[in-house]
Amino acid sequence: MPLPPSRTRRLRIPAVAIALVLLLGAGVAAVMGVRSFQAASASLEHSYRVINLLEATDAAVRAAEANARGFRNTRQAEYRPQFFAAMGRADRLTGELVELTADNPQQQARARTLVEAIAAHMVAMQALLDIEALEATDPAERRRDAGINLRRVGELAALSQEMLAVEQMLLQQRRDRSEREATTLVLFIVLAMTIALLLLGMLLVGLSRENRRSRQLEREARHAVSELQQALVLRDTLAEQRRTQSVYAGLLQSCQSSDELMALTVRTVQDLVPGSSGRLYLSKTSPNFLESVDSFGTRVISGSDVIMHDQCWALRRGQPHYTRGRSGGLRCAHIDSDTPVDGVSSLCVPLAAQGTSLGLLHVSGNTSDTVEDNDATMIISIAEQMGMAIANLQLRESLRLQSIRDPLTGLFNRRYLEENLVREMLRCERRRLPLSLMMLDIDHFKRFNDEHGHAAGDAVLAHVGRILQSLVRAEDLACRYGGEEFTIVLPETDAQAAIVRGREIGRAMSSLTIRHMDKPLGPVTISIGIATAPHDSADAGLLLEIADAALYRAKAEGRNSVVRTSAQA
Provide the annotated active-site residues.
484
- For 241, the enclosing helix (H) or strand (E) is helix 139-252
Which amino acid type is present at position 462?
A: A
Cα–Cα dist 6/10, whole Å: 7
**In angstroms, how far is the first alpha carbon of the chain from the final one?**
122
Q: Are 475 and 406 in contact (CB under 8 A)?
A: no
| DSSP string computed for 371-429 | TT--HHHHHHHHHHHHHHHHHHHHHHHHHHHHHHB-TTT-SB-HHHHHHHHHHHHHHHH
Q: How far apart are CA 213 and CA 219, in angstroms?
A: 10
φ and ψ at residue 280, rounded to 5 degrees: -115, 130
> What is the spatial distance between Cα 303 and Cα 336, in angstroms, rounded to a whole number?
6
Whether the Cβ atoms of residue 547 and residue 439 lie closer than 8 Å to each other? yes
Q: For residue 397, what are the CA distances in angstroms to 27, 199, 257? A: 86, 85, 9
479-509 residues labelled b (16+ CB within 10 A) or e (exposed): bbbeebbbbbbbbbbebeebbebbeebbeeb
Task: Say how far apart CA 20 and CA 13 lie, in whole Å.
Answer: 11
CA 112 to chain centre: 73
Query: What are phi and psi for residue 29, nearest 5 degrees?
Result: -60, -40
Q: For residues 275 and 265, is the Cβ–Cβ distance under 8 A?
A: no
Beta bridge partners of 520: 515
Antiparallel, parallel or unpaired: β 356-366 and 277-282: antiparallel
Non-local (6+) Cβ contacts of 387 within 8 A are: 350, 351, 352, 353, 358, 359
H or E segment at 506? helix 495-510
